[in-house]
């Protein structure tokens, strides 16, 4: 169940710089970590005083690619897995980021940029288990 | 109001970055973790660009200011302990990421240009978050 994707070092680097810029803007203006796990709290705790700005960040993150698409941009997208696996993976991601207090954006970008030992451990851990999962599914139990 | 507008701008920049980088494309993300198969090392360039920018940007901000522009202080995580909860949670997150190809930061912007099957993943992830919060709220005795 694998699809070949084009190696895009330039676009990926520029995209990465923009991700970082978004994180820097949120720290400079709001003094907050740009972790998507925390942002989702804006939906799940609508009464929290942090909910409005978190919802604004989420809305911006969803709307920006939509506007770009309407203006003619095209982003490659393929989900090489089944709906059942997507749902199972989703539940596991939700449980994991809640117990792990963060994901790729919070730990992997913001936390590592702050040289947080917790984030380094978290990032190394999830990178390792993601690699193991993909390898097992594709090369051991897959075709 | 200022805080909401600046968070909206930060979200817009973050979201377009995710889309341009390929982080919202599960096939591309999974291929980064598949050096034995259809390998695509692009993700390393995403992390490189994002980390470099955030590392420098944070240093400039913390070096020049005592507080952010629209708040009285920086809200930085205070937890220091590296425990089973952090490691177990992160390990689980990686398993889910490896199965689905979606992480939260990739899936939210993907909703804007590939609503299906992204919505399915996000609904399942929301259920997972609620399940974990419910488990965390149980008295410890009942779990052990």
Q: Is the pLDDT of residue B142 over 70?
A: no
Cβ–Cβ contact B91 with A under 8 A: yes
What CA–CA distance (Å, rounded) separates B75 from A26?
11
Cβ–Cβ contact B69 with A under 8 A: yes
Type and span of the H or E element at A4: none
* Average pLDDT estimate for B60-82: 96
Residue pLDDT, tens place only, A57-112? 999 999 999 999 999 999 999 999 999 999 999 999 999 999 999 999 999 999 99
For residue A123, what pLDDT band results from cuts at 50, 70 and 90?
Answer: very high
Helix (H, G, I), strand (E, B) or coil at B100: helix
List chain A domain ranges.
Answer: 9-140
Tokens of B100: 């689905």
Q: Are A77 and B113 in contact (CB < 8 Å)?
A: yes
Residue pLDDT, tens place only, A125-143? 999 999 999 999 999 987 6
DSSP B32: H
Mean pLDDT, all residues of chain B: 95
What CA–CA distance (Å, rounded) separates A68 from A133?
33
What CA–CA distance (Å, rounded) separates A25 from B5?
11
Count structural domains, chain B.
1
- Domain ranges, residue B35: 2-143
Cβ–Cβ contact B45 with A under 8 A: yes
Report pLDDT for B1.
84
Q: Are B71 and A31 in contact (CB < 8 Å)?
A: yes
DSSP A108: I
Mutation target for B interface from A2, A3, A17, A140: give the one with most B CBs within 10 A. A17
Instruction: Report CA torsion sign: B11, B52, A101, A138.
Output: positive
Cβ–Cβ contact B116 with A under 8 A: no
Report pLDDT for B144.
47
Residue pLDDT, tens place only, B1-40? 899 999 999 999 999 999 999 999 999 999 999 999 999 9
Report pLDDT for B138.
87
Cβ–Cβ contact B119 with A under 8 A: no
How many residues belong to chain B? 144
Residue pLDDT, tens place only, B53-62? 999 999 999 9
Q: Are A24 and B18 in contact (CB < 8 Å)?
A: no
Report pLDDT for A29.
98
Q: Is the pLDDT of residue A1 over 80?
A: no
Instruction: Report CA torsion sign: A95, A46, B16, A86.
Output: positive
Report pLDDT for B39.
97
CB B46 within 8 A of CB A12: yes
* Average pLDDT estimate for A23-38: 97
For residue A2, what pLDDT band results from cuts at 50, 70 and 90?
Answer: confident
Which residue in B61, B70, B87 is closest to A24 by CB distance? B61
Q: Are B124 and A90 in contact (CB < 8 Å)?
A: yes
Report pLDDT for B20.
98
CA distances from A2 to A88, A143, B4, B36 (A): 18, 10, 40, 12
For this complex, say whether ipTM is above 0.90.
yes
**Residue of A24, A79, A143, A122 whose CA lies nearest to B13:** A24
CB A102 within 8 A of CB A37: yes
Report pLDDT for A98.
97
């Amino acid at each position: 169940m694998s699809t070949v994707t084009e190696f895009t070092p330039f676009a990926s680097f520029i995209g990465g710089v923009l991700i970082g810029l978004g994180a820097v803007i949120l720290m400079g203006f709001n003094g907050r970590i740009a972790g998507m796990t925390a942002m989702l709290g804006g939906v799940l705790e609508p009464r929290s005083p942090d909910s409005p700005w978190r919802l604004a960040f989420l809305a911006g993150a969803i709307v920006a690619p939509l506007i770009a698409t309407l203006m003619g941009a095209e982003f490659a997208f393929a989900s090489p897995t089944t709906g059942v696996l997507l749902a199972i993976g989703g539940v596991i991601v939700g449980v994991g980021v809640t117990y792990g207090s963060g994901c790729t954006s919070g730990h992997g970008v913001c936390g590592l940029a702050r040289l947080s030992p917790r984030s380094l451990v978290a990032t190394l851990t999830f990178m390792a288990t993601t690699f193991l999962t993909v390898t097992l599914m594709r090369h051991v139990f897959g075709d | 109001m200022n805080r909401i507008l600046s968070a909206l701008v930060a979200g817009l920049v973050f979201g377009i970055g995710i889309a341009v980088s390929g982080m919202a494309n599960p096939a591309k993300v999974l291929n980064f973790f598949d050096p034995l198969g259809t390998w695509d090392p692009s993700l390393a360039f995403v992390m490189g660009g994002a980390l470099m920018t955030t590392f420098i940007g944070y240093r400039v901000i913390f070096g020049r200011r005592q507080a952010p522009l629209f708040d009285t202080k920086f809200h930085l995580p205070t937890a220091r302990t590296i425990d089973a909860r952090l490691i177990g949670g992160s390990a689980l997150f990686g398993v889910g990421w490896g199965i689905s190809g979606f992480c939260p930061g990739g899936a939210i912007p993907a909703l804007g240009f590939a609503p299906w099957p992204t919505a399915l993943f996000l609904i399942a992830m929301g259920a997972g978050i609620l399940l974990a919060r419910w488990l965390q709220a149980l008295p410890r005795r009942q779990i052990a």
